[in-house]
Amino acid sequence: MTGLLLTVVCWSADLADRQKPSTDSLEFKQLLACEAAAALASKSKQKAVEVLVTLSRKGTATVRNRATQCLMDIGGKEAMVALTKVLHDNNPQVRATAVTALGMMRVSQTKSMLHRLFDTEKHIEVKLATAQALGRLCDKTGLTYVVGLLKGDDPHYRRAAAVVLGDIIGQRFAPTGDGVVAALRYLNVRAAKFKT
Query: Percent of the chain at pLDDT above 90?
Result: 68
Global pTM value: 0.78
Residue 31 lies in a domain: yes
Residue 96 lies in a domain: yes
Q: Which domain holds residue 172?
A: 142-191
Q: What tens digit of pLDDT does each residue of 80-113 get?
A: 999 999 999 999 999 999 999 999 998 888 899 9
Residues 155 and 115 reside in one and the same domain: no
Number of domains making up the chain: 2
Lowest mean per-residue pLDDT among 15-29, 49-63, 66-80? 15-29
Residues 117 and 53 reside in one and the same domain: yes
Task: Identify the residue with better confidence: 138 or 48.
Answer: 48
Residues 92 and 33 reside in one and the same domain: yes
Distance from the Cα of residue 36 to its chain's centroid: 21
Residues 10 and 88 reside in one and the same domain: yes
Whether 21 shows a pLDDT value over 80: the answer reads no
Question: What gap in Å lies between CA 136 and CA 169, rounded to an integer?
Answer: 9
pLDDT of the residue at 154: 94
Residues 70 and 148 reside in one and the same domain: no
Residues 104 and 9 reside in one and the same domain: yes
Contact between 86 and 95 (Cβ < 8 Å): yes
* Length of the chain as a residue count: 196
Residues 15 and 84 reside in one and the same domain: yes
Q: What residues have CB less than 8 Å from 29, skipping those under 6 apart? A: none
Task: Identify the residue with better confidence: 3 or 191.
Answer: 191
